[in-house]
């Protein structure tokens, strides 16, 4: 019988696991950034705390903020696809980039800043699970600045068969695992750090306190999703109501405009008809006056007019 395991996709578990296991953190960071682990001299976690109110609070963010040698690195797990996620990622990158520049310091002191976003949904059209966003000069291959770096890792595009030669993919498969069977496949690659990571998850899964923490966090995330869904539904309904009212107002305005246009057209037509009638009457009066001046009788004039 397989055991019920907690998932490293849950941000609280992810953060707790890496803040308490430095060797796993070094391996993970070097794999995600594809830099030799021996080249990493120091990793310092700048936000290791797990505030209790964060676990059950909606709309809270549990990321992992690091100093990796002379780089600033932020790691975040995102399970749900929020429409503003790209903008949010850019905002957090900018906030981290400017966070350590002190008043009076030169801009050259700004550090290379990298965000690692592990997402449980598809964001890009390609089949590759890794997308790197860089600051490039449009129309060329020239890098504008090597201080900018945003990485997206799409878990749904990660293969299921573990490859011991690909440490980056192994870590993503480990994070993506939801069952003991999947974890065992990773453990059987005999990569020492991955075997340790699997055992850490097993131990955390057996810890009653940690399971309760995971339950509270999952509940908070579900509540957040429900709140967003309800807000969107309310927004759509309000939008439809406003749209209907705007439509009625526009219809009334168009009706009035059409009425005025039709009234002007009818007025012009009527005016032309009346003008023609008045013109004919004036012409006829002049003709009769001229006939009388020539000495013609009323009877003669009537006969001529009736024939015309």
User: 0.75 exceeded by the pTM?
Assistant: no
pLDDT of residue 217: 86
- Answer with the residue of higher pLDDT: 161 or 254: 161
Cα–Cα distance, 266 to 103 (Å, whole number): 74
**pLDDT of 281 above 70:** no
Render 206-270 in DSSP notation, one character per residue: H-HHHHHHHHHHHHHHHHHHHHHHHHHHHHHHHHHHHHHHHHHHHHHHHHHHHHHHHHHHHHHHH
Tell me whether residue 67 is exposed, middle or buried, using C-beta atoms within 10 angstroms of its C-beta: 0 to 12, 13 to 18, 19 or more.
middle
pLDDT at 304: 66
Residue 199, pLDDT above cutoff 70: yes
DSSP string, 123-149: -SSSS-SEEEEEEE-TTS--EEEEEEE
Q: Is the pLDDT of residue 178 over 60?
A: yes
Mean pLDDT of 189-215: 95
Q: By C-alpha distance, which of 179, 126, 135 is closest to 153?
A: 126
pLDDT value at position 274?
67
Local confidence band at 31 (pLDDT 50, 70, 90 cut-offs) = very high
The rounded mean pLDDT for the chain is 86
Model confidence at 48: pLDDT above 70: yes
Q: Per-residue pLDDT averaged across 131-137, rounded? A: 96
pLDDT of 308 over the 90 cut: no
Residue 298's pLDDT is 76
SS3 100: coil
What's the confidence (pLDDT) of residue 246? 72
pLDDT band at residue 153, thresholds of 50, 70 and 90? very high
> Which residue ranges make up each domain of the chain?
11-206
Q: How many CA atoms lie within 13 A of 201 on its CB side?
A: 29
Whether 267 shows a pLDDT value over 70: the answer reads no
Mean pLDDT of 209-216: 90
- What's residue 50's pLDDT? 81
- pLDDT band at residue 244, thresholds of 50, 70 and 90? low
pLDDT tens by residue, 249-259:
776 677 677 76
């Amino acid at each position: 019988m397989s055991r019920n395991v907690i998932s490293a996709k849950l941000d609280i578990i992810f953060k707790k696991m890496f803040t308490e296991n430095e060797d796993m953190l070094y391996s993970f960071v070097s794999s995600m950034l594809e830099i030799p682990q021996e080249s990493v001299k120091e990793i310092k976690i700048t936000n290791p705390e797990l505030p209790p109110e964060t676990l059950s609070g909606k709309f809270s963010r549990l990321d992992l903020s690091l100093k990796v040698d002379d780089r600033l690195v932020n790691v975040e797990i995102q399970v749900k696809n929020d429409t503003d996620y790209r903008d949010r990622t850019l905002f957090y990158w900018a906030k981290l980039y400017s966070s350590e520049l002190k008043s009076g310091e030169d801009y050259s002191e700004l550090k290379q800043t990298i965000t690692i976003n592990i997402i449980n949904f598809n964001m890009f059209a390609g089949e590759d699970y890794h997308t790197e966003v860089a600051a490039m000069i449009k129309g060329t291959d020239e890098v504008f600045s090597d201080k900018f770096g945003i990485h997206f890792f799409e878990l749904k595009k990660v293969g299921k068969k573990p490859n011991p030669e690909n440490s980056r993919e192994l870590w993503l498969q480990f994070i993506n695992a939801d069952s003991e069977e999947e974890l065992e496949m990773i453990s059987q690659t005999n990569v020492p750090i991955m075997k340790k990571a699997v055992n850490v998850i097993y131990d955390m899964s057996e810890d009653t306190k940690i399971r309760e923490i995971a339950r509270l966090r999952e509940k908070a995330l579900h509540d957040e999703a429900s709140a967003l869904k309800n807000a969107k539904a309310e927004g759509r309904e309000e939008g439809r109501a406003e749209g209907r009212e705007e439509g009625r107002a526009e219809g009334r305005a168009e009706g009035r405009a059409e009425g005025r246009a039709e009234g002007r057209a009818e007025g012009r037509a009527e005016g032309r008809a009346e003008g023609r009638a008045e013109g004919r009457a004036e012409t006829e009066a002049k003709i009769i006056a001229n006939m009388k001046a020539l000495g013609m009788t009323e009877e003669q004039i009537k006969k001529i007019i009736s024939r015309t």
